Amino acid sequence: MDVIKGKLFIFGNNIDTDQIYPGRFIEITDHKEIAKHAMAGVDPSFASTVKPGDIVVGGTNFGCGSSREHAVIALKNARVGAVVAKSFARIFFRNAVNQGLIVIEAPNLDELDLKAGEEAELDVVNGEFAAGGGKISFPPLPENVLSIIKAGGIFSLFREKGVKAFG
Amino acid sequence: MHALEKILARASGKERVSAGEIVMADVDVAEVNDLYYQVVKSFYELGGTEIAFPERANFVFDHYSPASTIGAAENHRKFREFCREMGVGNLFDIGDGVCHQVLMESGAVGPGKIVVETDSHTTTLGSLGAFATGVGSTDMALILITGKLWFKFPRVINIVLEGTLGEGVMAKDVILHVIGRLRQDAAIYKAVEFSGSTVRDMPQEERMVLCNMAVEMGAKTAYIEPDDVTHDYIARYGWKKGEVLTTDKDFEYDSVHKFDVSGLKPQAALPGSVDNVSDIPSEDIAIDQVFLGTCTGGRLNDLRMAAEILEGRQVAKGTRFVVIPSSRIVFQDALKAGYVETLINAGAVFSTPGCGPCLGAHEGVMASGEKCATTSSRNFPGRMGSTEADIYIVSPATAAATAIKGYLCGADSL
C-alpha cells in the first residue's frame, strides 16, 4: 500500500456523509452490503464501476456532516485505494484512520490538471501524487497514523498493545 | 489557557495543554445512538469484554425510533441485549428523545464535563460549558473499553455577537447568518466560542442552537461561558453547581469575528448547502412540508414560539406541518403549557420525540420535486429523502409563519 495506482473519481467541495452514504441505507451493518451504496448520494454508478485501488479525489471539507462511520466503511469495502482531498472533516478523518482507509490531505490539489477516469499514482510514504501529467508533494501522514492504517485499522494493534497502539 | 484547554488538561492529568497537543483524556459521559450498531461490532473486534464505566455510558434510541424497518428493529433488539449483558442502565428507549437533549435532561452534563457522543451535533452541549464532541463508532468503542480517548487540542475561534434581536428573529437566524458569512469549512479542526451581549441575553435553549450549528462550520467543539442562565437551566435537571473553569484574560484566539445582529432579518439556508444563506427570498416559494423539531429546533422555546404565532390560526391548505418535540420531557412541558393543543388545533401533526425526518429515515421524508422548510440543521441533497427535494433551513418562528401562509416567509411578514 506504499504506492497506490488507480483511476480517478473526482468530486467537489463539501462532499458530506449523506452523499457518501445516504441515510436511507444506514440500518445496514454488514460491511460488504454497505459497500454497495458507496457514494450513492452523489454518483449512483460509483459502487458498480469502482475498481480496487481507484482513488477518490475531493475538494475542501470532504466527509462533513453526520458522524456515520458507514461513509468510511463503504469506501474501504468498495476497495477504494485512497481518498485525496484539500481538507477533511475531522470525524471522517478519525474514522478513516480507525478503519484503515488511506486519507491524504493535499491543500495544493489545484496545481494538478485532474480528469475523471485517468490513471494516477499516489506515493503515500514519500508524499507524492502524480496525475494529469503533473506531480505535487504533500506532507506524509504521521508515523503513528500510518502504522494504524497499514495494520488495516486500529483493531489488531489495539488487541495487541492496548492504548499504546496510538503511539 | 482557554477554559476548554483547562477542562482537557484536568481530564488528562496535565498542568496545561495548548493547541496542537495530543492528549489521552478521561471521558465523563459517553453516548451511543441507535444508528451505530457498528459501535458494538467494533467493540468486539477490538477485543472488548466489558465497559469501563457502565454507569457513565448511555444508549439513546432516537434516529429511527420507534423502529421504521425490520433492519432498524433488529439493531434496536441487539442494542438492548448488549446493554443487558454489559450492565448499562442508561438505555433511553424509543420516545425518550434526541440524544443531546436526553443527556442534558439526565443531569449528567454541565460545565467542565467531557462529553463524547456518536453524533456530530454533540457540540450542542458546549453551550453548557462542557467539552463536547462527536466521534465515529470505533472511537466510541475505544471509549467504552478504556474510558478514554485521544484528542488533538484545537485552536479556538471567537464569534462575538452584539446587538438586540428583532421581533421574530431567533438564534437560528443568527447562526445561519454567521455560517453564511464564514462558510461551512471555516472551523474545520477548530473550536468555536460564542460570546458578546446577544449571547448573554439569550435563554439557554437559544444558546444551544448556536453551539449545535457550529458543527455545520466544521467545528470540533463549541463553547459558551456558563453563567447564571446556564446554571438556573440545568439545576432543574439535577445539576449541582461546582467549580467553573474560565478562560484566562490573556488567551489568544485563532481569530475573532464580530457581528452586529441588531436589524438582522429572518434568514434561510437555501437548498443544497448550509452556507447558502440569505434573507427570506421575496418571491413566493410554495412549501409542501414544514418540519419543527430536532436537536436544533425542537425544544420548549421553539414550540412556544410556534404556538404563539399559530394561536387562533390555521396551517395553509396543501402544506403539511410536522412537529416533533426533542424529548419526552419537552413534550410533557409543551402539553402542560397548552402549546400542543394550540398546534394540533392549527393543523399540526405530532410524532414521537426523536430526530424525525431530519436524516431522511422516517416520520415525514420528502418526495422528489417537493419543498421543505425545516428547523433542523442540514440541507445536503437527499438529506431528508429524495435528492430531488429542496430543503430550506429556517428558524422555528419562520417555520410557523410559513405553515400559516404555505409559502416561505418570516414571522415579521405576518
Q: What is the pLDDT of residues B268-288, one digit of tens each?
A: 999 999 999 999 999 999 999
In a shared domain, residues B102 and B152: yes
In a shared domain, residues B203 and B327: no
Facing A94 at nearest CB: one of B135, B146, B184: B135
CATH code of residue B22: 3.30.499.10
Assigned domain for B21 exists = yes
Assigned domain for B243 exists = no
Interface test with A, best of B183, B184, B221 (most A CBs within 10 A): B184
Greatest Cα pair distance, chain A, in angstroms, is: 44
Model confidence at A22, pLDDT cuts 50, 70, 90, reads very high
In a shared domain, residues B352 and B209: no
CB contacts of A97 in chain B (<8 Å) are none
CB contacts of A24 in chain B (<8 Å) are 360-361, 385
Q: Which residues of A touch B (CB under 8 A)?
A: 13-14, 16, 18-19, 22-24, 26-29, 41-42, 60-61, 64-70, 72-73, 87-91, 94-95, 98-99, 153-155, 158-159, 162-163, 166
Assigned domain for B118 exists = yes
Residue B388 CB coordination number (10 Å):
12
Task: State how far residue B138 is from chain A, nearest Cα, in angstroms.
Answer: 7
Task: State how far residue B366 is from chain A, nearest Cα, in angstroms.
Answer: 12
Domains of chain A: 3-166 (3.20.19.10)
In a shared domain, residues B147 and B225: yes
CB atoms B188 and A89 under 8 Å:
yes
Is residue A1 over pLDDT 80? no
Which of B258, B292, B309 represents a domain boundary (last residue)? B258
The conformational region for residue B8 under phi > 0 = left, psi -120 to 50 = alpha, else beta, is alpha
CB atoms B185 and A60 under 8 Å:
yes
Assigned domain for B234 exists = yes
In a shared domain, residues B283 and B233: no
Per-residue pLDDT at A125: 94
* Torsions phi, psi for B397 (to 5 deg): -65, -45
Contacts (Cβ under 8 Å, ≥6 apart) of B127:
B204, B207, B208, B210, B211, B212, B222, B223, B224, B230
In a shared domain, residues B277 and B199: no
Strands A119-123 and A128-131: antiparallel
Q: Is B359 on the interface with A (CB under 8 A)?
A: yes
Task: State how far residue A48 is from chain B, nearest Cα, in angstroms.
Answer: 20
In a shared domain, residues B222 and B302: no
Distance (Å, whole) CA A112 – CA A104: 15
Name the B residues in 368-397 with CB < 8 Å from any A CB.
378, 380-383, 385, 387
Q: Is B137 on the interface with A (CB under 8 A)?
A: yes
Is residue A46 over pLDDT 80? yes
pTM check: above 0.90: yes
Per-residue pLDDT at A150: 93
Model confidence at A164, pLDDT cuts 50, 70, 90, reads confident
How many separate domains does chain B show? 2
CB atoms B38 and A29 under 8 Å:
yes
Q: What is the pLDDT of residues B141-197, one digit of tens each?
A: 999 999 999 999 999 999 999 999 999 999 999 999 999 999 999 999 999 999 999
Greatest Cα pair distance, chain B, in angstroms, is: 62
CB atoms A24 and B381 under 8 Å:
no
Which residues, in sequence order, are bridge partners of residue B291?
B322, B374
Task: State how far residue A71 is from chain B, nearest Cα, in angstroms.
Answer: 10
Assigned domain for B395 exists = yes
Q: What is the pLDDT of residues A130-163, one digit of tens each?
A: 999 999 999 999 998 999 999 999 999 999 999 8
CB contacts of B38 in chain A (<8 Å) are 29, 69-70, 73
Assigned domain for B244 exists = no
Which of B204, B224, B258 represents a domain boundary (last residue)? B258
* Torsions phi, psi for A63 (to 5 deg): 85, 20
Per-residue pLDDT at A26: 93
* Assigned C-alpha cell, B363: 416520520
In a shared domain, residues B222 and B366: no
Q: Buried (b) or exposed (e) across A47-69, using 16+ Cβ within 10 A?
A: beebeeebbbbbbbbbbbbbbbb
Which of B226, B258, B290 represents a domain boundary (last residue)? B258
Is residue A167 over pLDDT 80? no
CB contacts of B383 in chain A (<8 Å) are 18, 23
Q: What is the pLDDT of residues B34-91, one digit of tens each?
A: 999 999 999 999 999 999 999 999 999 999 999 999 999 999 999 999 999 999 999 9
Assigned domain for B48 exists = yes
Domain, as residue range, for B179? 3-238+250-258
Strands B277-279 and B349-350: unpaired
Assigned domain for B245 exists = no
If you ran DSSP here, which 8-state letter would residue B313 be given? -
Q: What's the mean per-residue pLDDT of chain B?
A: 97
Task: State how far residue A147 is from chain B, nearest Cα, in angstroms.
Answer: 16
Q: What is the pLDDT of residues A94-128, one digit of tens each?
A: 999 999 999 999 999 999 999 999 999 999 999 99
Length of chain B: 414
In a shared domain, residues B198 and B336: no
Per-residue pLDDT at A38: 98
Q: What is the pLDDT of residues B316-359, one digit of tens each?
A: 999 999 999 999 999 999 999 999 999 999 999 999 999 999 99
Per-residue pLDDT at B195: 98
